[in-house]
Amino acid sequence: MISQNALHHAEKCRFCWMCRHLCPVQHQTGKELNTPRAKGLLLSMVHKEAQQFDKDMAQAMYECLLCDACTNDCATGYQPPLFIREARTEAVVSELAPESVMHLIDNVERTGNIYGVEKPGFGREGTDVLVYIGEAAAVKAPEMAENLLKLLEKAGVSAKVLEKEPASGVMLGDLMGYTEEVRQMAAVCAKALNETKLPVVVLDSYDAEIMTQKYPEWGFEIAAGVTTATAFTAKLLAEGKLEAKAPLGVTGACHDDDRLARTFHEFEPVRRMAKAAGYDLTEMFNHGKLAKSCGTAVAWGYMPELVTRIAGGRWTDLTRIGCDTMLVANPETWQCLSLCVPEGCRLVDLFGALL
């Protein structure tokens, strides 16, 4: 059902509770089933034919944000998202995936994105870099995309955006694992990006992750390179192409999104942007590599109520340190944290704040 490699990880996790306190889904649901250990145990039982992979089990595999907090904390190097993602492939193939998940997959097949709408275009010509906007920003955080483009213009960077930007494949990969459909989607996207011959600046770190981690493995490397929009903006600040603003006298805390934190280990650029936007900085208890997830666009798509609670948990982390200003530079975290901004608190888009 899952590969030997994934099964090896599941077999190790099934004995272990060491990372259970870090799982944001377990925090909010309080369900033992929502620990990496329990998911490993289920898959181990299926392998031993002690239990059948059924709808309930498939449901359990989707109660995970693929946030990698468990992997990051694992002293022995095991990776629950590896077996959870493969179990999702099995769930889809054997028609056991939840209806809400299948609805999103249908949307991706029809429109290229989970939202099931035509992706708004940001097309423009430019000669220095290609900006990849991504589905979440285009549909749910278009102001953030516009702010990034205006910021680049202000810094004298000539930015191109594809009129019809293909999906990167990251959303489908999170929904159904790295199947042939996802690889085909990635191939189309890589071809379109490579045809421009421009270095690619990627707004959503989730897209940047698949482009840098999976595309090369599948033979679709982006030849001119991929940079996150946060790292690129911080570089413009360091080069003096963007000016720092006067202090605002406001203290804020940066939320590190899952994939910047645990795939790219990129923390400083967002903080440099926040300081340049005039904010004094404080930190939430779980930040940097340990940052607690606030949800993802994909998870919001099939379990909006739970993602709203998870995002609420991140707001609680903020208010617990006596802060009311959450600073973000990722469209998916913007989308999730926007769901439940507590009274008196503010969610700030750092690209907009720097304008």
Residues that bind ligand SF4 in the complex, under the rule CB under 6 A: 12-13, 16, 18-19, 22-25, 36-37, 64-70, 74, 76, 78, 80-81
Least separation in angstroms between CB 269 and ligand SF4 = 23
Instruction: Centre a 10 Å sphere on the Cβ of residue 180 and count the other Cβ atoms it contains.
Output: 7
Query: Residue 89 is encoded by which pair of tokens?
Result: 């492939």
Least distance (Å) between residue 62 CB and ligand SF4: 10
Minimum Å gap between C-beta 237 and ligand SF4 is 32
Q: Whole-number minimum distance, CB 37 to ligand SF4, in Å?
A: 5
Nearer to ligand SF4, 279 or 300 (CB): 300
Alpha helix (H) residue ranges in the chain? 4-13, 24-29, 36-47, 55-62, 69-73, 80-93, 99-111, 135-140, 142-154, 170-176, 180-196, 205-209, 229-238, 258-259, 268-276, 297-302, 304-320, 331-337, 350-354
Q: Which is nearer to ligand SF4, 67 or 337 (CB)?
A: 67
**Measured from the CB atom, is 68 or 349 closer to ligand SF4?**
68
CB 9 → ligand SF4: shortest distance, Å? 7
Which is closer to ligand SF4, CB of 18 or CB of 340?
A: 18
| Residue with Cβ nearer ligand SF4 (67 or 130) | 67
Nearest by Cα to 129 from 235, 240, 277 = 235
User: What is the closest distance, in whole angstroms, from the C-beta atom of residue 92 to ligand SF4 in the complex?
Assistant: 18
Alpha-carbon distance values, 347 to 78, 280, 329, 341 (Å):
34, 15, 10, 7
Token readout for 122 is 């940001």
Q: Partners of 30 in the beta sheet?
A: none
Supply the minimum distance, in Å, between the C-beta of residue 124 and ligand SF4: 36
Secondary structure of 59-106 in the HEC alphabet? HHHHCCCCCCHHHHHCCCCCCHHHHHHHHHHHHHHCCCCCHHHHHHHH
**CB-based contact 310:24 (threshold 8 Å):** yes
User: Cβ–Cβ contacts within 10 Å for residue 228, how many?
Assistant: 25
- Closer Cβ to ligand SF4, 119 or 259, answer by number: 259
Number of Cβ within a 10 Å radius of residue 31:
12
Q: Which is nearer to ligand SF4, 17 or 247 (by Cβ)?
A: 17
Q: Which is nearer to ligand SF4, 74 or 236 (CB)?
A: 74
Contact indicator for 141, 335 with CB cutoff of 8 Å = yes
| Cβ proximity of 221 and 349 under 8 Å | no
Structural Rg of the chain based on CA atoms: 20
Burial (CB count within 10 angstroms: exposed 0-12, middle 13-18, buried 19+), residue 190: buried
36 or 166: CB nearest ligand SF4: 36
Closest distance of CB 173 from ligand SF4, Å = 14
Q: Smallest distance from the beta carbon of 40 to ligand SF4, in angstroms? A: 7
Smallest CA-to-CA distance from 130 within 169, 162, 168, 170 is with: 162
